[in-house]
Chains A and B, each alone.
Chain A
Amino acid sequence: MEKERRDFMGLSLGLFTAAGSIGALYAMKRTWDPLPSVKAAGFTTIELANAKPNELVVEKWRGKPIFVLKKSADMEANDRDVIVGGDRFHISIGLCTHLGCIPAYEKDNHEFFCACHGGRFNASGINEPGLPPPSPLEIPPFKINGTQLVLGEEGPEYKKMKIDNLIA
């Protein structure tokens, strides 16, 4: 009799504690989540009309560097190119797909070189095989707006690349 009452008390205490702990853990997890204001830090517009061929411009979107490279006529075309006003552009998030350093653009051989662990990408952002980076530089969501590019919004050209599995 006594024992049954103690077992019951023990069990209810255990259940309440477990429920409380799960609630507390959830609250802790949510506290570590990115803030809504951080997530909403939304859209960046880039003007492409003034870009010069084979000269890398680095813009900023959501705290990340964005590579904008206007291809010159002698540079190889690729399905990942963004075509604006008849010109081909390589647009990508400028963070190495290995561990996130910013690769440097080597103008002469049209390659991106990542000094952190020696990764290489060509001017279309495709990684050179056999080196640490496992995939091409990622293309951020974009929408073409005349000669401007809106980052953070998915336009038809971006959606098509996504279907064709070209964005990363």
Chain B
Amino acid sequence: MAHFDENAKPFSNKWLDERIGLNTLKRVLNTEYWIPKDINFLWAMGMVLAATFGILVISGIFLLMYYKPDADLAFDSVNYTIMSEVGFGWLWRHVHGVGASIVFLIIYIHMFTGIYYGSYKRGRELIWLSGMGLFVAFSAEAFSGYMLPWGQMSYWAGMVITNLFSGGSLEAYGLVEWIRGDYVPGDAYLTRFFMLHVLLIPLAIIGLIVLHFGTLRLPHVNNQEGAEIDFDEAASLWKAGKRKESKVIPFSPVFLSKDIFVMGVYFILFFYLVFYHFDFAMDPVNFDPANGLKTPAHIYPEWYFLWSYEILRPFSKDVGLIAFGIAQAAFVFLPFIDRSPNVAPAHKRGLFQIWFWVLLIDMIVLTAMGKLPPTDPTFAFIGLVSAILFLCMGPILVVITMFEKKIEKGA
């Protein structure tokens, strides 16, 4: 049997180390998890996301105390009870609403950072794939949460999105009714999306975050030059006290303190929005109770879904669904359709740099067009062109990366 020191004080470092391998754990996850020095504030976005998820969980727990998952009671439990009766109920609601919106801004920044620096390439494919898993899970979490206040936008977004599962000409209305538990969104629909929002999807998210962190541990995070660092050598320099010469720093406490600084700046902005500008995250149409006999004049999703919504909209039903499906899945394949061997920032990769900015701008244009009503022919045309351009970006990437020149490292 293992040896347990009889003199070790209960819960002291030694006592814990003998029982749960505390020191090994600290070494693997903190003090000897090496982070390159050559990175910038964009590398703090991952921990900013983790912290925002934490804030969403905490505010959600307090909302849960008074929320009533019932088609007759839900609207008032949110808009009356939580907003005006519960002490500081408004705070949890605004924190939760602003958090749910801002988390997508940070996710997009985090994703485009990965794309810009080629952080999805050989060795880092699983980081990217688990990240896409998180993106899908967060999208489902945001959608299910949007159902809960049971306002007009909840109801009609629920109607339109669940109808997507009829698969167009496949006419799979049985599947749609199965998902809803009703012919239209109703009580059974609300209670099952409540279950998904407060239990099943958060559990999946927690699991995926653990997986995402796990996939990072061996490849390590990328750096601004995409340099291949000899971590053993750099680590021994650090441990020998040559901290200036070493190319790395330990995750904790050194890198984490930088992360926490960026988080500090982020949370100033976050709480500014919560207290002075929460309305951007609260759609006015959703302050009307759900009414199955009246569609709002103009239905649009929250801003973070607009780009993919705009890819659905300009086409006929079947083509639109196929285009939408491709757009949803496209980013998953990035590690496999980028044929270039170079792990380098976009500005060193020739045509790839143009591709990157065109993609980013195209998605911003799609987002802007998606918010407009479908009546203006000029904007509808711009939307159509941007949607087609988006669909072409995948094949274009394959071609330009096939011909990308290999960058000689160390030059």
Residues of chain A touching chain B, judged by Cβ–Cβ distance below 8 Å, are 32-35, 38, 58, 60, 62-65, 97-104, 115-118, 130-134
Contact = CB atoms under 8 A, between A and B. Distances in A.
Given A64-B292, A115-B297, A134 B316 contact: yes
Contact of B160 (A64, A116, A131): A116
Interface in B160-177: 160, 163-164, 168-169, 177
A63 B156 CA distance: 13
Contacts of A101: 156, 159-160, 295, 299
A63 B159 contact: no
Contact of B182 (A38, A65, A115): A38
Contacts of B320: 132
Interface string B99-122: 000000000000000000000000
B186 A115 contact: no
Interface of B: 156, 159-160, 163-164, 168-169, 177-184, 186, 188, 192, 292-295, 297-299, 312-313, 315-318, 320, 373-375, 380
Contacts of A63: 182-184, 186, 292
Contact of B318 (A34, A117, A134): A134
Given A116-B160, A116-B299, A34 B380 contact: no
Task: Count chain B CB atoms within 10 A of each CB in A104, A115, A117 and give the residue with the most.
Answer: A117
Q: Which 4 residue pairs of A and B lie closest in terms of their CB atoms, listed nearest first?
A: A118-B374, A63-B184, A102-B295, A134-B317
Contacts of B188: 34-35, 38
B182 A34 contact: yes
A64 B183 contact: yes
Contacts of A103: 295
Contacts of A38: 181-183, 186, 188
Residue among A100, A103, A134 having the largest count of chain B Cβ atoms under 10 Å: A100
Nearest to B293: A65
B398 to A, nearest CB: 30
Given A115-B298, A118-B375, A132 B293 contact: no
Given A100-B160, A115-B297, A132 B177 contact: no
Contact of B163 (A62, A64, A100, A104): A100
A115 B374 contact: yes
B26 to A, nearest CB: 38
A126 to B, nearest CB: 16
A104 B294 CA distance: 9
